[in-house]
């Protein structure tokens, strides 16, 4: 009887532990030292509708291009402090309106502007057009960029990551300056956790999918 | 009990009382003047000042009770301690087991203290307009001018000028607070800037789960519930910055859900608000009309939005952003 109970407890613990640690590969991708000190750092990521691998192949997520040029599944990036980051987001996902249109405004970037496929963007009306796929937002830095979606009617949407540039995408670029050393969380403000309450469960509530840390080091 | 005994008991009691009164008065005075002004949440707003005073009054009443226990213990331990040479114990035993007089006094005095504090607490909540706490959608203890300001805000035609109540809407969302200023065209910002010497009416709501707006140094705390407007008042008194934290565990990035706010002069505030109103105008045009609460979409990305397009203008509820399907 006691043995059965122990087995049951063990199963519950395993299940809970499995739920809490969804096994995010990639670790922290280090961008310090990739450039001479003080020089701008280039950071390229892609975001898409389904990661394709791992414990949650259907979840939305990000890949980051490591300084060695490989696509890595990680949302924790180590960046040098007080340095300009030139960020490129290749956005392959379709979109929806924002729950809060406030995130449609570009804030916190150098010049409070971004560019979508070479065209300047300071604000995007998520209720019209293709909507917003995700946002790249660092609340503590006041940094927010709506990642404009590809049309949901497109016949050429990337199914699973990593996505080749032959699929429909928007290239969003912007620059921001890192503050002093610290860990700054970033997240998406599109309720893109499809099928979860308020759209904020699943990938929105799991480290390594729709959010992570800028680990800024001096 | 011999007359001899009774006399010496009175002597003990008098000695204990004198020590207790002297130590209590000194400790209370030291606390009130040296520690009191630094007690959280500080003195940035009327509610902070009042809550600091309430805490200090509580402490000044509690301190003599604590000191009374310590003095009695100390006295008993030194004067009435058991003799080492095997002499009979002088503390404990029959005399110490039941002292009805002492019990009645102890219970009466502490009961009176607790009841008085409860009366004082009710009084403070009423005269301090909710004492910085959320009063729900229909606050009964509104400061002067607040109802007019809020009615105007909902009508969409309000404009704030110094000397009037400033309506600020606090919108909780997983995982950031944003702020809407109906007195300036209803723009939204991730910054909370407030004018000094102004009564603020915080209208707190949420777009998803339950959050809680806690502006620590302002001594304002109000739960942010979806589709509920929770109103809290304070009056700014001091320039400086303060911290806003979410104090309701709300998911993965709950710990990141904080921001700094600032109290600035009335002219600095007007400058900031008007320039932000201009800078954000393009985005403000796409926000839903200002309303007390907003209906969140049910499921996020491409699934199960609440029906759109049927609400009447300035109804208590507007659909926030989710004008779906995107056309
Ligand atoms: Cu997202
Ligand atoms: Cu929260």
Q: How far is the CA of B259 from the centre of ligand 2 (A)?
A: 12
Non-local CB neighbours of A195 within 8 Å, separated by 6+ positions = A202, B299, B303
pLDDT tens readout for residues B2-45: 444 555 667 888 999 999 999 999 999 999 999 999 999 999 99
**Secondary structure class of B185 (helix, strand, coil):** coil
pLDDT tens readout for residues B72-106: 899 888 887 666 565 555 555 555 567 788 889 88
Residues B264, B165 within the same domain = yes
**Per-residue confidence (pLDDT) for residue A8, from 0 to 100:** 65
Contacting residues of B for A204, CB less than 8 Å apart: 174, 252
Residues B57, B128 within the same domain = yes
| DSSP H/E element including A116 | strand A114-116
Domain ranges in chain A are 2-206
Confidence tier at B311 by pLDDT (50, 70, 90): very low
**For ion ligand 2, residues whose CB falls within 5 Å:** B 211, 246, 250, 257
Q: Which residue has the higher pLDDT, B118 or A5?
A: B118
Q: Name the token pair of B66.
A: 């604590």
Q: What's the CATH number where B276 sits?
A: 2.60.40.420
Asked if residue B139 is part of any domain, the answer here is: no
Q: Which residue has the higher pLDDT, B20 or A192?
A: B20
CA distance B223 to chain A (A): 19
Asked if residue B137 is part of any domain, the answer here is: no
CA distance A1 to chain B (A): 38
Instruction: Let me know the angle formed at the C-alpha of A89 by A86 and A95, rounded to the nearest 5 degrees.
Output: 150
B219-244 exposure pattern, b = at least 16 Cβ within 10 A, e = fewer:
bbbbbbbbebbbbbbbbbbeeeebeb
**For ion ligand 1, residues whose CB falls within 5 Å:** A 134, 188, 190, 192, 210
To probe the interface with A, which of B321, B323, B327 has the most A CB atoms within 10 Å? Answer: B321
Contact predicate B195/B270, CB 8 Å: yes
**Per-residue confidence (pLDDT) for residue A110, from 0 to 100:** 96
**Per-residue confidence (pLDDT) for residue A144, from 0 to 100:** 97
CA distance A39 to chain B (A): 29
Asked if residue B140 is part of any domain, the answer here is: no
Asked if residue B93 is part of any domain, the answer here is: no
Asked if residue B124 is part of any domain, the answer here is: yes
Q: What is the total count of domains within chain B? A: 3
To probe the interface with B, which of A199, A207, A208, A210 has the most B CB atoms within 10 Å? Answer: A199
Non-local CB neighbours of A139 within 8 Å, separated by 6+ positions = A185, A186, A187, B175, B176, B190, B256, B257, B259
Residues B73, B121 within the same domain = yes
Residues B63, B119 within the same domain = yes
Question: Which residues span the domain enclosing B31?
Answer: 3-78+98-132
Nearest ligand, CA A93: 1
Residue A39 has pLDDT above 50, yes or no: yes
Asked if residue B28 is part of any domain, the answer here is: yes
pLDDT tens readout for residues B151-173: 888 877 778 999 999 999 999 99
Asked if residue B245 is part of any domain, the answer here is: yes
Residues B125, B157 within the same domain = no
- Is the C-alpha dihedral spanning A18, A21, A22, A24 positive or negative? negative
Residues B21, B119 within the same domain = yes
Nearest ligand, CA A210: 1
C-alpha–C-alpha distance, residues A207 and B60, integer Å: 48
Residues B241, B302 within the same domain = no
């Amino acid at each position: 009887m006691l043995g059965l109970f122990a087995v049951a407890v063990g199963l519950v613990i395993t299940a809970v532990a499995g739920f809490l640690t969804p096994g995010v590969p990639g670790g922290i991708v280090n961008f310090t030292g990739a450039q001479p000190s003080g020089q701008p750092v280039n950071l390229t990521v892609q975001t898409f509708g389904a990661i394709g691998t791992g414990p949650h192949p259907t979840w939305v997520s990000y890949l980051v291009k490591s300084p060695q040029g490989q696509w890595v599944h990680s949302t924790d990036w180590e960046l040098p402090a007080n340095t300009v980051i030139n960020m490129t987001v290749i956005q392959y996902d379709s979109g929806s309106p924002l729950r809060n249109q406030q995130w449609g405004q570009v804030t916190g970037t150098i010049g409070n502007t971004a560019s979508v496929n070479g065209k300047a963007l300071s604000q995007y009306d998520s209720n019209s057009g293709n909507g917003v796929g995700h946002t790249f937002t660092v609340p503590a830095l006041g940094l927010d960029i709506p990642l404009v979606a590809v049309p949901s009617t497109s016949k050429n949407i990337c199914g699973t990551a990593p996505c080749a540039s032959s699929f429909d995408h928007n290239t969003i670029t912007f620059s921001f300056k890192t503050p002093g050393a610290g860990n700054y969380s970033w997240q998406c403000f599109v309720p893109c956790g499809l099928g979860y309450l308020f759209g904020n469960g699943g990938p929105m509530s799991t480290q390594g999918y729709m959010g992570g840390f800028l680990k800024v080091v001096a | 009990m011999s007359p001899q005994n009774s006399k010496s008991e009175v002597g003990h009691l008098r000695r204990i009382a004198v020590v207790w009164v002297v130590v209590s008065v000194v400790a209370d005075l030291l606390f009130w003047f040296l520690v009191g002004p630094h007690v959280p949440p500080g003195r940035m707003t009327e509610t902070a000042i009042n809550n600091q005073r309430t805490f200090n009054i509580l402490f000044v009443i509690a301190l003599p009770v604590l000191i009374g226990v310590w003095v009695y213990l100390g006295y008993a331990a030194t004067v009435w301690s058991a003799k080492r040479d095997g002499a009979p114990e002088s503390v404990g035993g029959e005399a110490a087991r039941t002292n009805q007089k002492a019990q009645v006094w102890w219970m009466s005095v502490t009961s009176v203290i607790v009841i008085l504090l409860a009366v004082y607490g009710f009084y403070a909540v009423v005269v301090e307009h909710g004492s910085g706490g959320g009063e729900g959608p229909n606050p009964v203890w509104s400061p002067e001018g607040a109802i007019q300001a809020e009615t105007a805000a909902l009508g969409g035609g309000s404009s704030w000028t110094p000397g009037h109540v400033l309506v600020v809407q606090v919108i909780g969302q997983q995982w950031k607070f944003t702020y809407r200023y109906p007195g300036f065209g209803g723009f939204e910002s991730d910054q909370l800037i407030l004018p000094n010497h102004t009564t603020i009416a915080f209208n707190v709501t949420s777009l998803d789960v339950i959050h809680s707006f806690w502006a620590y140094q302002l001594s304002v705390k109000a739960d942010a519930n979806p589709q509920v407007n929770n109103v809290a008042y304070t009056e700014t008194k001091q320039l400086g910055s303060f911290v806003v934290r979410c104090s309701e565990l709300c998911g993965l990035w709950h710990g990141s859900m904080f921001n700094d706010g600032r109290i600035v002069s009335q002219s600095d505030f007007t400058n900031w608000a008007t320039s932000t109103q201009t800078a954000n105008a393009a985005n403000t045009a796409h926000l839903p009309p200002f309303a007390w609460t907003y209906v969140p979409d049910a499921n996020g990305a491409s699934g199960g939005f609440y029906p759109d397009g049927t609400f009447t203008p300035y109804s208590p509820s507007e659909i926030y952003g989710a004008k779906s399907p995107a056309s």
